[in-house]
Structure 1
């Protein structure tokens, strides 16, 4: 596997998970399945961008809550609200009467009351937690951002696709034994950020892992597997949990 091919896979991951311009990929372009290893790496520029805005707002003397909302707005703008959309759709799907109905609700572009309420609580919790962080907490931003996208990758590999189409199907691993090497870049980057952050990293990662497990359990029980919305819900749920526990431990 050449370096250029790996870079193309990283660019594809950035194209799918952000709104950052990545140019055009030359043929033959990689598939989402091949590029899924790079999903966690997308968290590095996202985390640093959010921290940069947060620290910059703090340097201007703005209130902590304003700094927090500025950072969250940056993440939403850079991702196009992709994970928020999945989180809201997954919450709305909880009101379905059976698996088929839940998947139908989640595909509806309209947001229902469950989704709205879930987003209010998620954004509110994240903002209140971020407002308590020091401006120097760049390693915490990177850790939460990378680890939450590693959670997406893990769910993508351990849960079967719940649909015959969609992002969850296109990015799902090929049949055969699971390869931990696909998870390695995200796990290594998370470990690096954890070492810089220090003792606070352990409870943060533990809480994020538990949250991811709960999302996975609910997705398997209610949908039979993962979809793009489930992946987005896992990312945002793990990220929000990470912010809350980080604020409690720093």
Structure 2
């Protein structure tokens, strides 16, 4: 029972860290628990994906698909507090405008959004909406399935960076927002199962295409961040989640188109 309670506390820690969903007051918080909770980051994708999928299906029953998709995106962004979108914008500003490692990390610390971040954020949201709308043209249920698969899988991609790379501190004395910095091998296995299981919702060819795209993007993200920064920051994890989520939709769209 103590083990189960501890795992439940870790899940709630991850839920409270990545979403606006209130967690019970009896759940303790510490950096050590946050590091342990990384095993459930992909499982949080189940929650966010389910909310997005359900809101899309309800809205699409009453409204045009395009409106339903945008409303679903608004709800998931509100649910997560635009946590990952913020990481995407900051990462693009830093990596796009930074002349070297130190300069890139300095830019990422700036709370203001720049040109690179603005362009990346606008294009990412636009591309996400267009691809989900395009999926609905093939099957009314496809956007919902895509959300259920992409949210856990993209969070698994970010989790693997925690496992493979070192956390790069911009300033050890800075009062930065907390970020999980560790993932054990056992934790990685839990994250892998949680992230891959929703692929069973898709036909095998589509599932393989989505998995391959996610794998390639994750490998490249790890390589690029290691070469550019020597590791990752919290913003880089958010950017990886966003990019791989887009990759999931793109791969599914291509797979569906080729299967017809």
TM-score relative to the length of structure 2:
0.87
Question: How many angstroms apart in 2 are the aligned matches of 1:26 and 1:240?
Answer: 33
Residue 49 and residue 158 in structure 1: after superposition, are their counterparts in 2 closer, same or farther (change >3 A)? Answer: same
Question: How many angstroms apart in 2 are the aligned matches of 1:248 and 1:55?
Answer: 22
- Name the structure 1 match of 2:80: 79
> For the Cα contact (< 8 Å) 1:139–1:194, is it kept in 2?
no
> For the Cα contact (< 8 Å) 2:163–2:188, is it kept in 1?
no
Note the C-alpha offset of 1:233.
0.4
| Structure 1 residue 148 corresponds to structure 2 residue 154 | yes
Unaligned runs of 5+ in 1: none
- Name the structure 2 match of 1:172: 181
Matches within 5 A, 1:136-215: 136-137=141-142, 138-163=144-169, 164=172, 166=176, 170-173=179-182, 179=185, 181-199=186-204, 200-215=206-221
- Name the structure 2 match of 1:119: 121
- Name the structure 1 match of 2:237: 231
> For the Cα contact (< 8 Å) 1:140–1:193, is it kept in 2?
no
Question: How many angstroms apart in 1 are the aligned matches of 2:26 and 2:104?
Answer: 35
SS at match of 1:211: helix
> For the Cα contact (< 8 Å) 1:47–1:141, is it kept in 2?
yes
Unaligned runs of 5+ in 2: none
Residue 167 and residue 209 in structure 1: after superposition, are their counterparts in 2 closer, same or farther (change >3 A)? Answer: farther
Note the C-alpha offset of 1:69.
1.2
Residue 28 and residue 197 in structure 1: after superposition, are their counterparts in 2 closer, same or farther (change >3 A)? Answer: closer
Question: How many angstroms apart in 2 are the aligned matches of 1:148 and 1:27?
Answer: 27
Note the C-alpha offset of 1:196.
2.4
> For the Cα contact (< 8 Å) 1:67–1:131, is it kept in 2?
no
Per residue, is there more helix in 1 or in 2? Answer: 2
Calculate the aligned-residue CA RMSD, in Å: 1.9
SS at match of 1:135: coil
Note the C-alpha offset of 1:217.
2.0
- Name the structure 1 match of 2:19: 18
Question: How many angstroms apart in 2 are the aligned matches of 1:67 and 1:148?
Answer: 22
> For the Cα contact (< 8 Å) 1:37–1:186, is it kept in 2?
yes
> For the Cα contact (< 8 Å) 1:41–1:185, is it kept in 2?
no
SS at match of 1:39: helix
TM-score relative to the length of structure 1:
0.91
Question: How many angstroms apart in 1 are the aligned matches of 2:195 and 2:167?
Answer: 26
Residue 27 and residue 71 in structure 1: after superposition, are their counterparts in 2 closer, same or farther (change >3 A)? Answer: closer
1:139-166 alpha-carbon deviations (Å, 9 max, x no partner): 3322111000111110011010111475
1:60-111 alpha-carbon deviations (Å, 9 max, x no partner): 1x33322221121111110000000000000000211111111110010000
> For the Cα contact (< 8 Å) 2:50–2:147, is it kept in 1?
yes
Note the C-alpha offset of 1:167.
5.8
> For the Cα contact (< 8 Å) 1:64–1:132, is it kept in 2?
no
Matched residue count: 244
